[in-house]
Structure 1
Amino acid sequence: MGEAGKQENVTTFEEMAEVVARLGIVPLAPLIPEHPSVNGLTLAENWHTDTELDPWRWRVRFPGEGLAGYGKFIKKKAVLVSREWLPAYLAASGPRKSLEERYQSGLATREALTLLEIIRANEGIETRQLRSMADMKAKEKKTAFDNAVTELQGSLDIVISGVKQRVNADGEPNGWNSTSFETSGHWMHEAGILPFEGSREEAIAWLRSRMEAAWAPEAVAWINKALGWK
């Protein structure tokens, strides 16, 4: 069994950053068999406390500090991918064609295309503004909006880049913080991360070699199947 099989207790952001850097891919909640998750490594009483020890806050510190890409990348579940692994992960699992080409082929939704066009022109846009600009503020359009945002994360076209405090017309804090989005390429550029130089097959081989050194065999087998790697 790889290093991932060890029991760990993580209390601080810095400790979790070490785990993410070592394992490369860490889901927020249990997802990959015999593989750690942020939820599984941390104490339940620290969640949603809005303190430095709150893992819910860490999820946006990672992309905010350029330490890991974050989004619903695997089976519509939130995952952290370290800055070292992200270029290879994008090359191995990202789309072979542009979203426009996928849309024309019936492989992407109109809503996803609309949202991506807006995000490209407004990198770092927050959820409420994105819904407004896409004319999807109505309640009956919320499900379509949520599905399109999840679709774009699953295809690795976008990442969650952080959260922004909502404010009212007077600039005062108003309501819950809102998730913000960027295209994957823009986030990587801003974080100083270079694209993977090599083919999709070379990216998969790069990832596998590191997974086999640090992950449990069950975890490696699962992700190979989940991502369709051959």
Structure 2
Amino acid sequence: MREINHFNDFIKELRTVGFTIGGENGEGVFTLSDAFGESIAWHTEDPETDPWEWRIRVLDEYTDIAYGKLFFRKSGYITKEWYPYFLAVRRGKKELQEEYEEGNVTIMAKRIYDVLSEEKELPVHLLKQYGGFSGEDKSGFDKALTQLQMDFYISICGRARKRSRSGEEYGWSSTVFCLTENLFGEEVFRKAGKLSYEQAFKRIEKQIYLQNPQARSAKVNKFITG
């Protein structure tokens, strides 16, 4: 990995590697954070050198990079080129209704998915409202959001601020979620459909070991499969 000193460096390296954990802890696999130069500093609010700001810039400026809770239930990035491989491993041809009936998906996750299936995309505050979630549901709601992202059923697709009755925006921006099908379109699903689980797994595994030949096999497996 080449040294990363600003946002454009990060995007170039991400496109080269294809995916990365979002933070500094590579979990024994790898992270582009290991290539950060001295100019990179977290939580400075500088959009060029603060990685915390980059997740917002990626969502605002690019349509071929996914960001969300993707690895170890933590943040990460995947380019559109590599998305079908993870999709083939994590989701394959599974449908959420079937997974729910088999007890692999929580009722809260199903409620979130059903709302997004109807509305296409929603910011978190409206997702809670339309889904009838209360403050007491916060823990289960957050876990369900993470589960759905890790299983590649939903994705972060932008951000939006709340609006007053008069239509004026106010407050902090809220994360917008959509179905995975609406993130990159059917193209990635067609590509994923042509891949077997084994083909996709081995392709990702090979790329990981190119970045870190000493990566721990158990962690690599968890990174890939979720």
TM-score range relative to shorter protein: 0.7 to 0.9
Asked if structure 2 preserves the Cα contact closer than 8 Å seen for 1:208 and 1:220, the reply is no
* TM-score, normalization by structure 2: 0.84
One-letter amino acid matched to 2:45? T
Equivalent in the alignment of 1:116: 113
Residue 159 (structure 2) pairs with residue 135 (structure 1): no
Matches within 5 A, 1:5-20: 8-12=3-7, 14-20=8-14
Structure 1 residues 44-53 or 119-128, which shifts more?
44-53
| Distance across 2 between alignment mates of 1:93 and 1:122 | 24
Matches within 5 A, 1:146-161: 146-161=142-157
Residue 158 (structure 2) pairs with residue 172 (structure 1): no
Task: Name the SS for the 1:177 alignment partner.
Answer: strand
Percent sequence identity is 23
Equivalent in the alignment of 2:217: 221
One-letter amino acid matched to 1:32? E
Which consecutive unaligned segments of at least 5 residues does structure 1 have?
A: none
Asked if structure 2 preserves the Cα contact closer than 8 Å seen for 1:165 and 1:178, the reply is yes
Residue 208 (structure 2) pairs with residue 206 (structure 1): no
| Distance across 1 between alignment mates of 2:11 and 2:223 | 24
Report the RMSD for the aligned CA atoms in angstroms.
2.6
Matches within 5 A, 1:2-151: 3=1, 8-12=3-7, 14-29=8-23, 30-33=25-28, 35-38=30-33, 41=36, 43=39, 45=41, 47-49=43-45, 51-64=47-60, 65-94=62-91, 96-136=93-133, 138-151=134-147
Structure 1 residues 86-95 or 74-83, which shifts more?
86-95
- Residues 25-72 of structure 1 deviation map (CA, whole Å, 9 limit, x = unaligned): 211112332622448726564535164544333213334412311111
* TM-score, normalization by structure 1: 0.83
Task: Give the total of aligned pairs.
Answer: 220
Once the two structures are TM-superposed, the CA of residue 226 in structure 1 deviates from its matched residue by 1.0
- Residues 114-162 of structure 1 deviation map (CA, whole Å, 9 limit, x = unaligned): 10011122222100000000101x2211112111111111111111112
